[in-house]
Structure 1
Amino acid sequence: MNNRMRTALCLLGAALCVFWAFGAALCFGRYPITVNALLAGDAMTVRTFTVLRLPRAVMALAGGFGLGVAGFVYQTVFRNPLASPDIIGVSSGASVGAAFSILFVSSGAVGTTACAFVGGLLAVFLSLGLAAAAPGRSKTNLVLAGIAVHALAQTALMLLKLTADPEKELASIEYWIMGSLAGVTKSRVLFPVPVVFVCCAVIFALHRHALLLSVDEEEARLLGVPVGRMRFVLLTLATLTVAAVVSVTGLISFVGLLAPHCARLLAGHNRRSACLLSGLLGSVLLLTADTLAKTVASTELPVSIFTSLLGVPFLLYLIIKQGREVH
């Protein structure tokens, strides 16, 4: 089987899995939905479907796709298999923004979403500014800047937690950090889904440049790629995608790490089709995790529990594999 056929079969299989996972997300939950009841026009079924299930499933679909594509970009640009969407502080910044909103602005969905989005972007711009101010043009500058911003954001988050009411505000902050799609409504989907769609479309259009950034910088420059500018554009697009998703869902662990690796293992290359496959696998992962989060227990669980159950063993596998390759 040639490489093109293998990739086509992988994309077809992933698309079918997305279709199945999306259908399961619509049907399963505390109030099961059947096609017959929906077609019959049962009032409770129709309301549950349109108000709760459909926006939530669309958010999981778009969010997983965006996290998968963003993770693919980070790993390609940094040439680091352990790179993930929070490598330059976007997740930590979003957490600080959400906590600030809960404490001082509004604990409502709109206020928390807006502040989390702004917090994620501020963290990223701070990381990019620190990396630009550092001497040299090493790609490790941005990684180190991201680690510094992450530490700073975690310190700010701890200070905000200390000022929170333990019974109300602290619980809201902790629940947001754990990640959940339970609060997703139709109005909250209108912002992140278009952002994810536009940013991912531009990333796909620029994928050739992203691929060239994965080789030596001097070679990329000889091939006519403006390395610094293109790296900034691609990382900004990926970060906008992640910020738009986590500002609504809270922190979602490991999707941006796991999906790109699985895509490369299945496709056997790093081209545009592998990036698309990474997005599809991210959607499958988040849709499946969200379905499990609302069905396996009497109370709804944070979705990151299930993404972490898959992601942690895979991360350990990557660390062990890298250690063996070094030796």
Structure 2
Amino acid sequence: MNNILEVMDSHGAQDKITDLSEIQQKEIFRKNNNEIFSTLAKITDSKFYGSRITDEIHKNELFEQNILVEILIAVGISSFFALPSHIHDISILVKLSSDNLIKLVKEHLDDVVYIDDNNYIKYYHSYFGERLVKTQGMLETAPIITEYLKILAPFMNLTNNSKKEFSRLSLGKELMQYRHLYSIFSPDSRINEKMSSQINEIIESIYESVRLQYINNYRFWEQRALCASYNEMHDEAESYARKAVALKRDFLTLTTLGKILLVRAEKEKYSDLFKTLLESDEILFEALENSKYESTYPHSTFFSHFNKIIPNLLNLSPDDISLLNTILNKWILSIDRLVDKNRKEIIKLKNMSILTFEKKMQNS
């Protein structure tokens, strides 16, 4: 592995992982099932490595057969997360019996994917699975993802899962995430505002389609809240975020609620920004303490939105200014308690917040 890292350095790939420890560098390979080309393609964003994989797979003359493509796309979805797909799940997605699916895979796709001893299908090169899904249109891929989420819903309760089913739990958790769905639907080229809106609308439609299956899943509501917020569905976003917190009050649901309140205040220009800022401060600081200072997410959320809201606060009294100063200092002092010592971005946001606040005081 050390020799591989040296080769990567000679090809410029090391630039992407220079700040990582040796253990973290090797973890990148592990997540890609130790596939060298897949790892190099992801780290370097190089078309060369991706082409090597794609050219190899396209040598299969039966690739153009629709049912085979459907199988590869279904398995490819889980490749985004370096996870396998269970035979039973894929058979439902492509509407084949498990026996017929296994037969097709072994007869026509054995140089592309393989089936392990636990009946999971895996790509030899997970990167190709990702690229294949990326080439499909959103309207073609969305229904597959929707059905996949429905299939995975029963496995989302960890207490009911065996070790063999843990991969399905992991896949469900990953596939549910808003940022992952956005990445799957995003083209490689630059995304304009119209396309971004279309992606968010499709993701929202997926969430609505699987709502009944995930109605008591707090992480589902948290992720749906983020999507609704980006869609500027502010009433829905706040409602979803509060539902997530009601189901489980952890640092992620709390941080998401705090963030959504601040985003809504910025977008709709609340007449009482000050009150919203105070409420969000309490929610985000509870999130920070809930995480036992292991997460920087509450800090980055507070500082980034503090910078945007402070200039828009009007008619502040001396007591208001004093309270804002106390809040800001509380967050600044809490940085030293963070477990994560890599705080460059947090320090940068903190310094911006200080400058923004000082400028506001000068103009008041």
Please identify the structure whose Cα radius of gyration is greater.
Answer: 2
With the length of structure 1 as denominator, give the TM-score of the two structures.
0.25
